[in-house]
Copies of this chain bind each other. A is one copy, B any other.
Amino acid sequence: MAPHAIAIIGQGSPDSGRAIDDAEECGRLLARRGVTVVTGGLGGVMAAASRGAKSEGGLVVAVLPGIDPGVANPHADVVVCTGSGEGRNLAVVASARAAIAIGGGWGTLSEIGLAKRIGRGLVLLGTWHVGAPDGWDPGDAPLLATSAQDAVEIAVGL
């Protein structure tokens, strides 16, 4: 049976800053626990998380929007080309038990919504603040983490 997988979702650029450091650390910590890391396969947070996981010998999966595997960052063991465009955001979060969202990006916001929509666990680390409208009950709220280590602890425990 496939090992547990956790998705790290986040902005595709820039390639440095707090979000990048957090993503790389999350990748490392997940790999050390034997958790497969799934990302959207491109740059920024996606590349950093993949690089971190690979540096610890983890299994890394890139789930790309298009059909050209050549655009994936170089840290993935498996490159899946969905051909679904931004529709691949659903595949990223659906392919994991839980997702850790890091940093900005409108695509990241869409993945936050999709992860909750399909009932996946979700941990937020320095990312979008989302507030439901009055009179609508969002059910279980996403969980807030204060550090990469905290985010991984929460996600693995879900």
Chain A positions near chain B (C-beta within 8 angstroms) = 1-3, 5, 11, 17-19, 36, 59, 61-63, 66-67, 69, 72, 74, 76-87, 89-91, 94-95, 103-114, 116-118, 126-138
Top-10 shortest CB links A-B: A104-B136, A110-B113, A109-B113, A129-B131, A87-B87, A81-B94, A106-B117, A106-B116, A67-B94, A83-B85
A79 and B109 contacting across the interface, CB-CB below 8 Å: no
A131 and B133 contacting across the interface, CB-CB below 8 Å: no
A81 and B106 contacting across the interface, CB-CB below 8 Å: no
Cβ contacts under 8 Å, A17 to chain B: 135
Main SS of the interface on chain A? mixed
- Assembled-state Cα–Cα distance A24/B80 (Å): 22
B1 and A74 contacting across the interface, CB-CB below 8 Å: yes
